[in-house]
Amino acid sequence: MMKRMIAAVAGVMIATVAAGPLLSQEVRAIREAPLTQDAPAAPIAKQEAQQRFDRAYRQQPPLVPHQVDRYQIDWRINQCLGCHDWSNAGKMQAPTLSMTHYIDRDGRQLDTVSGTRWFCNQCHVPQADTSDLVKNTFTPSSKIK
């Protein structure tokens, strides 16, 4: 019992020492005004549908080059499939879903979209040219020399 207590105290002390530099940095909120004041909403970014954006990193889900705010996606209906399902993509001249979207969690090939891939907007978001919410120094590995 005593050994466990000493180990726990030592663990807390090590964690405190390790987190020291992090705790000394100033924490800033994204919201500019204090919570006690009303603040104007940030402007809504306009979607860029004129061009397709390049992917920022390998295996990034493709960005959606059209508006989807009025698309219904719930447990019964997924309006994205009206154009992008393999059975409709040809006649709608839309990119078809990757075959990975038709494989269930047990690796079985399905004729319909897997339930694990049903909610498209979990991974795919509309493209918009916006500024970063927080400072970002990400550089794709292909750009590093």
Domain of 83, CATH number, reads 1.10.1130.10
- 48-53 long-range contacts (CB < 8 A, ≥24 apart) are 48/127, 48/128, 48/129, 52/127, 53/127, 53/129
Mean pLDDT of 35-46: 78
Residue 29 lies in a domain: no
> Is 26's pLDDT higher than 80?
no
Tell me whether residue 11 is in a domain: no
pLDDT tens-digit series, residues 101-139: 999 999 999 999 999 999 999 999 888 878 777 888 887
User: Would residue 110 count as lying in a domain?
Assistant: yes
Q: Mapping DSSP to helix (H, G, I), strand (E, B) and coil, where does residue 47 land?
A: strand
Whether residue 35 lies inside any domain: the answer is no
- Provide the 8-state DSSP code for 143: G
User: Which residues form the domain of 94?
Assistant: 48-130
In a domain, 5, yes or no: no
50 Cα distance to chain centroid: 22
pTM: 0.60
* Percent of the chain residues past pLDDT 70, beyond the cut: 86
* Rounded average pLDDT over 49-73: 84
Residue 7 is assigned to a structural domain of this protein: no
Q: How far is CA 138 from CA 56, 97, 135, 141, in A?
A: 9, 28, 9, 9
Q: Is residue 10 part of a domain?
A: no
> Would you say residue 20 has pLDDT above 70?
no
pLDDT at site 48: 63
